A and B are shown apart, each in its own frame.
Chain A
Amino acid sequence: MQINENGEFRPTIVAFCCNWCSYAGADLAGSSRASYPADVKIIRVPCSCRVNPMFILRAFERGADGVILCGCHPGDCHYSTGNYYARRRMTMLFGMLDYLGIEKERTRVEWVSAAEGAKFSATMNEFVSAVKELGPNRKLRDLRCKN
């Protein structure tokens, strides 16, 4: 979370992007000059199923206001089936966060292929504005961690 000089809230968004599709999609968004907010911090992972639920909780603990996981479209995984497992895992994790009373809008999974630069930028714009509306993440923060 950051508050800029105008007193405006700038969320910190962590985006886990799979190396084969979404990371290349982000590249394409850049090279085709589609803009998305600088609040999005991309972490490249070999596959969406590399993302352990702990990574997501850790990101929140360290001050993220929203976490988004991007992977290949189901059926297009570079490792054939990784994103199918990720899909089940994330569904379970998000259900549990909701059960604990944590805003479910702070977490999301999107499938973005390497050819979807425009979708990548649109998704990020939309997610950042959704998290901005929710305000800073207080429920899942380690209060000792400063920005």
Chain B
Amino acid sequence: MQKLRDEIVAKCKALLEDGTVDRVIGWEKGLFDYDCSPATFTKENIDELVYNEYCGSNLSKYLVKESKAEGNVAVLLKPCDTYSLNELLLEHRVKKEKIFVLGIPCGGMKDEKGELLMKCNTCKGNEHKIADEVMDSDLTVPEARDRFELVEKLDGMTPEERFAFWQGELSKCIRCNACRNVCPACTCLKCVFDNHASGIDSKANADSFEEKMFHIIRAFHVAGRCTDCGECSRVCPQGIPLHLFNRKYIKEINELYGEYQAGETEDSRPPLANFTKEDAEPSVIYEKGRD
């Protein structure tokens, strides 16, 4: 890993030296070993860049802001992060001509306890979907498990059990908005949850309904655009399995409108911004589970 990190730094230095880019988005070391935070580097401090098994965060969202600033910017993206970048390019959130994507290999990322991150359990594979250059390495990604396992388990429960499950999970929510802020698909300049007139902006949940409303709407806004990068669950300070909302939408979209992986290509059409005349009627939902 150290060797790979040195190669990455050398590559970034070369990019900064020959003027291809002015800044590099990478990770810097925090207080603890497991604490690697996203940071922007220039020629002066590029040596502080780290890359180890705790660099789980997805850096593609930072490009929204960075690609609008002056100068070009390089970004380090793991294979799964490139899906998010494709989605951002598709939505014209990132200026492609101002970025340089350095694809870096990944061998699975860990959380602070040293366990594999939730998102790495359902790894998307070794391939960078978009990259200007990919670093060589012998790292291999962890084996992927079925990502819909838990969603199917929930689907199999009775509505009362499901309601109790979500009541228990969502009542932990402190509305810190971390899930929204970290999500690479949540890039609205003005968020519906920042609207003062709505009565539900930036405040703690006052009752059980507000908890659910926030999470239903948050997941709905990224439905069909969510690449299942798992950042929402990773950053949740309360440990709410938020990815289960996104995966429910993904599963439903796959079943009703055909398999779709957001961010797979740069020019696909998100299923909720699309239709066919033969689409299922909303009543399929009531018919499900009745037979």
Cβ–Cβ contact A94 & B282, under 8 A: yes
Contact of A92 among B161, B220, B286 (CB under 8 A): B220
Q: Mark contacts of A53-94 with chain B using CB atoms, 8 A cut-off: 1 yes-contact digit, 0 otherwise.
A: 110010011000000000000110000010011011111111
- Interface contacts beyond A61-B213, A85-B275, A143-B207: sample of 18 additional A-B pairs, CB < 8 Å, sorted by A: A54-B213, A57-B213, A57-B216, A85-B272, A91-B256, A91-B282, A92-B223, A92-B272, A93-B220, A94-B282, A95-B285, A98-B288, A100-B163, A101-B159, A101-B161, A104-B286, A140-B212, A144-B207
Contact of A96 with B284 at beta-carbon distance under 8 Å, contacts A91-B256, A101-B164, A142-B209 already known: no
CA of A100 to CA of B155 in the docked complex: distance in angstroms?
10
Is B148 part of the binding interface, using a Cβ–Cβ cutoff of 8 Å?
Answer: no
Residue B83 lies at the interface, judged by CB distance under 8 Å to chain A: no
List 23 interface pairs A-B (beta carbons < 8 Å), by A numbering. A53-B220, A54-B213, A61-B210, A84-B275, A84-B279, A85-B275, A88-B271, A88-B274, A91-B279, A91-B280, A91-B282, A92-B249, A92-B272, A93-B220, A94-B282, A95-B248, A96-B216, A96-B248, A100-B163, A100-B166, A100-B216, A102-B159, A144-B206
A74 to B206, CA, bound (A): 39
* B154 located at the interface, meaning its Cβ lies under 8 Å from any Cβ of chain A in the complex: yes
Expressed in whole angstroms, the Cα–Cα distance for A129 and B164 within the complex equals: 27
Q: Once the chains are docked, how many angstroms separate the CA of A104 from the CA of B284?
A: 11
Across the interface, B155 reaches (CB within 8 A) one of A75, A99, A109, A144, namely A99
CB-CB under 8 A from A50, the residues of chain B are none
- Alpha-carbon separation in the docked complex, A57 to B245 (Å): 16
Closest beta carbon of chain A to B193's beta carbon, Å = 10
Contact residues of B between 232 and 291, Cβ < 8 Å to A: 245, 248-249, 252-253, 256-257, 271-277, 279-286, 288
- For A, the interface residue count at a CB cutoff of 8 angstroms equals 37
Contacts of B279 in A (CB 8 A): 74, 84, 87-88, 91
| Cross-interface CB contact of B192 among A54, A98, A141, cutoff 8 Å | A54
A→B interface (CB under 8 Å): 53-54, 57, 60-61, 74-75, 81, 84-85, 87-105, 108-109, 139-144
Nearest opposing residue in chain A for B224, CB measure: A92
B14 interface residue per 8 A CB criterion: no
- Flag if B223 contacts A100 (CB, 8 Å): no
The 9 A-B pairs of least Cβ separation, nearest first, read A101-B163, A101-B162, A84-B275, A109-B282, A94-B285, A101-B159, A91-B282, A90-B282, A95-B252
CB of B259, distance to nearest CB on chain A (Å):
16
**Complex contacts, B286 vs chain A, CB 8 Å:** 94, 104-105
Give the CA-CA distance A102 to B209 in the complex, in Å. Answer: 11
C-alpha gap A97/B166 in the complex (Å): 11
A96 CB contact (under 8 Å) in B161, B209, B219: B219
Number of interface residues of B (CB under 8 A): 46
Residues on the A chain within 8 Å of B206, using CB: 142, 144
Q: Would B275 and A99 count as touching, CB distance under 8 A?
A: no
B138 within 8 A of A: no
**B79–chain A nearest beta-carbon distance, Å:** 28
Please tell me if the beta carbons of A57 and B217 are within 8 angstroms of each other in the complex.
yes
Contact of A53 among B155, B161, B217 (CB under 8 A): B217
Inter-subunit contact B275/A81 (CB<8 Å): yes
Across the interface, which residues of A come within 8 angstroms of B273, CB to CB?
85
Residues of chain A within 8 A (CB-CB) of B271 are 88
The answer to the question of B160 belonging to the interface, with a C-beta cut-off of 8 Å to chain A, is yes
